[in-house]
Structure 1
Amino acid sequence: MRRFPVPDRIDLPDDVRERIDAETEDAGFTPNVFPAFAYKPSHFRPFFDYHDALVEDSTLERGEIEMLVVTVSGVNDCLYCVVAHGALCRIYNQAPKLADQLATNHRLADLGDAHREMLDFAVKLTESPGEITDSDVDALRDAGFSREEIWDITSVVAVFNLSNRMATVADMRPNDEFYDLGR
């Protein structure tokens, strides 16, 4: 993070430090988003709690969540999230080219019709939220998504629009490790 100071580990509240340590153990390195968001522990906690809820209590597959994140992050030109979640997208979808396709132009990606409809909705919600209508939601239903899945799609898009903006303003950079994962 280049525009805001990253706090010293020793100065962090115990719960924040423990969460960062757990993520480091799981990943084998510390994803930069964790120490960056620790800049404000009172924001760190609900941000990661909501992220966890999105991926743990969702009717969507984890690969679908990562497809949404990469597509939205590509639209928002968020380097950190494209690279970090691109790695997760490759891993969860077992598709080494998919993240690159989604980040640059999801319309040309190797997708089925339902996922293309999902990502079209995600892009419209990102670029023109005031233009979302009943027909957009109906198109998702017609593509086979349940009411709860549509809620979850919307939630992922919303939180990653927030995340992209925070990462961009903070000038958060992806860890080198993310570039090679899942390739």
Structure 2
Amino acid sequence: MSILNVPSEAEATGLTAEIYRADITSMGYVPSHTKAMSLNPEAHLLWESLTQAISSSLGLRRYELVTLAAAQAIGSSHCRLAHGKKTLTIIDEDQLIAIARVYHHAGLPPEEVAMMDYAVKLSTDAAAMNDDDAQQLRDSGFSDREIADITLAAAARNYFSRALLALAVDLDVPTGVSTELQSALLTPLPGDGGQSAVEPSAG
């Protein structure tokens, strides 16, 4: 549980209140990660603008797949659950469960597997990356702009997910995510000893 004291919906004022209202309108509630990151509301609004710019350029499907891969590599249950819910609007649940468990065996096109592999490497060993990694994406058919967007999407997820983990933000389980999908989304990367999976808190 985070030690941060965050304003409630009734206590929020100014930009923070606007951010809260936007989440209530779109989701029906204010997630704990919004409350934590809205302690600096100006930064949070810029974050939302950044992710919108990246996702609109890369395309929603690719953006969400990269996000899911990066969040799993980081061990971010917050972002896996939140973006798993979002991805249900563009990918059916059965395939999303397969993607969440082992995306290499989920029937994805090779280029999508390649970009997810890239996101995992960026999130686990970015210092070891070189031109060969970008070349693999180019060989998979991605343009230089798309390679930049994939990189930005994965790097942006590292920023947000790692901030939530560092602040020990309470984990929200979105409504409308089945027990089976929750389990798949919380599955750790193979070989990480279970470190990526975090059980949902009672809060």
Q: TM-score if structure 2 supplies the norm length?
A: 0.77
The answer on whether the counterparts of 1:113 and 1:143 sit within 8 Å (CA) in structure 2 is yes
TM-aligned CA deviation for residue 47 of structure 1: 2.1
Change over 3 Å in CA distance of 1:133–1:99 after alignment to 2: same
Which residue is equivalent to 1:133?
130
After TM superposition, give the deviation of residue 152 of structure 1 in Å.
0.7
TM-score of the two chains, using structure 1 as the length reference: 0.85
| Residues 12-161 of structure 1: pairs in structure 2 closer than 5 A | 12-56=12-56, 58=57, 60-92=58-90, 94-161=91-158
Question: Once superposed, what is the RMSD of the aligned Cα atoms?
Answer: 2.3
SS in 2 for 1:3: coil
- Give the 3 Å change call, closer, same or farther, for CA 36–64 of structure 1 in structure 2: same
- Name stretches of at least 5 consecutive residues in structure 2 with no aligned partner: 182-203
Normalized per residue, the structure richer in helix is 1
| Alpha-carbon distance, 1:137 to partner | 0.8
Identity %: 24
**Post-superposition offset of 1:132:** 1.4
Give the letter for the 1:111 counterpart: L
After superposition, what is the alpha-carbon deviation per residue over 1:135-165, rounded to whole angstroms, capped at 9, x for unaligned? 2111111111111111110011001011111
Instruction: Indicate conservation of the 8 Å contact 2:54/2:153, yes or no.
Output: yes
Q: Given residue 70 of structure 1, which amino acid in structure 2 is its aligned partner?
A: L
Relative to structure 1, the CA distance from residue 72 to residue 91 in structure 2 (aligned partners, 3 Å threshold; closer, same or farther) is same
Does structure 2 retain, via aligned residues, the 8 Å contact 1:74–1:104? no
Q: How far apart are 1:105 and its partner, in Å?
A: 2.9
Which digits, 9 at most, give the CA deviation of each residue in 1:49-89, with x for residues without a partner? Answer: 22222223x1x220111111111111111111111101112
Q: Does structure 1 retain, via aligned residues, the 8 Å contact 2:54–2:152?
A: yes
Q: What is the CA distance between 1:106 and its match in structure 2?
A: 2.4
Aligned equivalents of 1:80 and 1:103: distance in 2? 14
Residue 2 of structure 1, CA deviation: 2.9
Q: How many residues align?
A: 179
Residues 90-132 of structure 1 deviation map (CA, whole Å, 9 limit, x = unaligned)? 222x221344334443222221111011111111111111121
Superposition deviation, residue 178 in structure 1 = 5.2
Mapped contact 2:7–2:35 kept (Cα < 8 A): yes
**CA–CA separation in structure 2 for the residues paired with 1:178 and 1:156:** 25
Structure 1 segments unaligned to the other structure (5+ residues): none
Distance 2:95 2:151 in 1: 21
